Chain A
């Protein structure tokens, strides 16, 4: 009896060692490149490729960050990204909340086909839309402008946001807003006074995800803007790569700065983040 217990315990502790080794190897795979990026942003450019490589070098400094902040051209990349991403987030939420309200609370002719279109356009490849967009955006005079980028991004964020928002509103009992409407209030009142306040968690996850899509977008930012002062962070990073003879420390600092908004959102809204990631696409 005691013998079997010790073998079981031994097996358990062996398993635990296996799990811990697996976890640590996984963590190295996932996080070591990120750690190296962070460390490199504090090096001087000559130390980036020194041999043997060291995580922390004698030249440790914030110079690369200072160089970015003191260059108005580079600061502008960040301003552009914030303007575009925040606008896309606010507009997407406004439009999606109303659409989701219609899908969740009303029956109307064409509901199913419209819903089908919204779900299926998510699979349309960006590269397919790029060529006609280029023509349309130029024709509308929106080439190389904020509205051009903002409108473009909404076509990618809206379908997802509507699907997810509808799903969230469906979890809220209909009696809640029905009661308000029975009292004579209009649908808009029911939506904004009752449904929106109780949907904050859903709105936050949709908002976070929308912001992230806009912040990370590359292909359309590359094609629909032309001048340096309209470029967003992802394009700015690419320009920095080609422009000078590889200021690697500045590239890494810019990468870190460019990732901070998403990292911060993740840190604060981790729960919403993950539920947004999973619930939008996957039903369990």
Chain B
């Protein structure tokens, strides 16, 4: 991409008489460039976060004109709600299951695509096919899999079963996790493929000369080289997957009987089905805290890479 940088002739600038340097305005200038960003971030990020934290310590806000401080009552209510605990467990299962599978499938596909045994054209075709699931929005993925997984749908036909994949309490959580795995692995695959292409060939050659088997080369050369990318991707995916809402909402809506309830759907229902905006804010703050912990590790990891 760098080769695109062709310097335009400096004389393209208007030949004005040189102005005096004004150090004062120069120091103020970057703030001018940042002003729209800062204004938007303040109104749409800082204020809402302050508000939601405030809401979580009050009795019912938004609907109540004069909300009162209730201390940590809301936190006690939410943290002892069995549905919240179920939702936390489900979110953990869904997130860890998805991320682990994204990593494994993404790495397998990336290594297949990186194989020297296939030509460039098949490689490009397969890569495009493998990226496909990533190009569809959650609403499309939800309706597509609802059709495929319907009791009289094509998957039950192929398996000779008639299972209600998304409506069975025993299977629903595993099923939505599977759908999310299908939808999300390409992000890992694309990034890991770029990483694999960056592993110096000499390292593999040296290891081969030393008599390392393919398996040993994988664990002792490939994985250590990919380690920083794998850690970044895993942390990012943990953050994103734990926040997943749309896919769950449109496949199971959290049901049947809460078996696929996630922290996101739980929070949403508290606010917009039960109009318990304070409790929803409390739950939202807890979700924020969890994301912040993950984000802390992500930023620290990125820093270490600098």
Query: Residues of A with Cβ closer than 8 Å to B?
Result: 12, 15-16, 19-20, 22-23, 26-27, 29-31, 33-34, 36-37, 40, 48-49, 51-53, 95-96, 98-99, 101-102, 106, 108, 111, 114, 116-136, 151-152, 154-155, 158, 162, 171-173, 176, 179-180, 182-185, 187, 189-190, 193-194, 197-198, 200-201, 215-216, 218-219, 222-223, 233-235, 237-238, 241, 248, 251-252, 255, 258-259, 262-263, 266, 270-271, 274-275, 277-278, 281-284
Tell whether, in the assembled complex, residue A183 and residue B13 are in contact, meaning their CB atoms are under 8 Å apart: yes
User: In this complex, what residue of A is CB-closest to B231?
Assistant: A282
A274 CB to closest chain B CB (Å) equals: 5
C-alpha spacing A241/B38, complex, angstroms: 40
Q: What does DSSP make chain B's interface, helix, strand, loop or mixed?
A: helix
Tell whether, in the assembled complex, residue B239 and residue A123 are in contact, meaning their CB atoms are under 8 Å apart: yes
B8 CB to closest chain A CB (Å) equals: 6
**What are 27 contact pairs spanning A and B, CB under 8 A?**
A12-B117, A26-B108, A30-B182, A33-B145, A98-B33, A99-B37, A114-B38, A123-B291, A125-B291, A129-B49, A130-B284, A132-B47, A132-B55, A135-B62, A151-B40, A172-B5, A176-B7, A189-B14, A198-B4, A198-B5, A215-B137, A218-B139, A259-B137, A262-B135, A274-B190, A278-B190, A283-B228
User: In this complex, what residue of A is CB-closest to B134?
Assistant: A277
Tell whether, in the assembled complex, residue B229 and residue A27 are in contact, meaning their CB atoms are under 8 Å apart: no
Tell whether, in the assembled complex, residue B18 and residue A127 are in contact, meaning their CB atoms are under 8 Å apart: no
Tell whether, in the assembled complex, residue B267 and residue A118 are in contact, meaning their CB atoms are under 8 Å apart: no
User: Given A31-B129, A277-B187 in contact, is the A282-B232 Cβ separation under 8 Å?
Assistant: yes
B153 CB to closest chain A CB (Å) equals: 7
Is residue B10 within 8 Å, beta carbon to beta carbon, of the partner chain? yes
Provide the residues of chain B in CB contact with A263, threshold 8 Å: 135
Tell whether, in the assembled complex, residue A53 and residue B284 are in contact, meaning their CB atoms are under 8 Å apart: no
Q: Which of A114, A193, A218, A275 contacts B245 (CB 8 A)?
A: A218
C-alpha spacing A193/B128, complex, angstroms: 36
Tell whether, in the assembled complex, residue B41 and residue A117 are in contact, meaning their CB atoms are under 8 Å apart: yes
Provide the residues of chain B in CB contact with A251, threshold 8 Å: 143, 147
Is residue B246 within 8 Å, beta carbon to beta carbon, of the partner chain? yes
C-alpha spacing A271/B37, complex, angstroms: 28
Provide the residues of chain A in CB contact with B233, threshold 8 Å: 281-282
A53 CB to closest chain B CB (Å) equals: 5
Q: Which of B16, B108, B194, B281 contacts A284 (CB 8 A)?
A: B194
B298 CB to closest chain A CB (Å) equals: 7
User: Given A34-B132, A218-B245, A278-B190 in contact, is the A184-B144 Cβ separation under 8 Å?
Assistant: no
Tell whether, in the assembled complex, residue A51 and residue B152 are in contact, meaning their CB atoms are under 8 Å apart: yes
C-alpha spacing A174/B190, complex, angstroms: 31
Task: Sort chain B's interface into a size bin.
Answer: 35 or more
Q: Which of A22, A120, A255 contacts B144 (CB 8 A)?
A: A255
The stretch among B23-31, B76-84, B166-174, B204-212 that forms the contact with chain A is B23-31
For the complex of A and B, the 4 pairs showing the least CB-CB separation, nearest first, are: A123-B295, A132-B48, A234-B139, A218-B246
Q: Which of A30, A252, A281 contacts B133 (CB 8 A)?
A: A30
Tell whether, in the assembled complex, residue B250 and residue A201 are in contact, meaning their CB atoms are under 8 Å apart: no
Tell whether, in the assembled complex, residue B140 and residue A19 are in contact, meaning their CB atoms are under 8 Å apart: no
Q: Which of B45, B139, B186, B229 contacts A238 (CB 8 A)?
A: B139
Other contacts beyond A131-B277, A184-B17, A218-B249: 5, CB < 8 A = A34-B144, A118-B37, A130-B284, A131-B271, A155-B44
Tell whether, in the assembled complex, residue B4 and residue A201 are in contact, meaning their CB atoms are under 8 Å apart: yes
Tell whether, in the assembled complex, residue A131 and residue B147 are in contact, meaning their CB atoms are under 8 Å apart: no
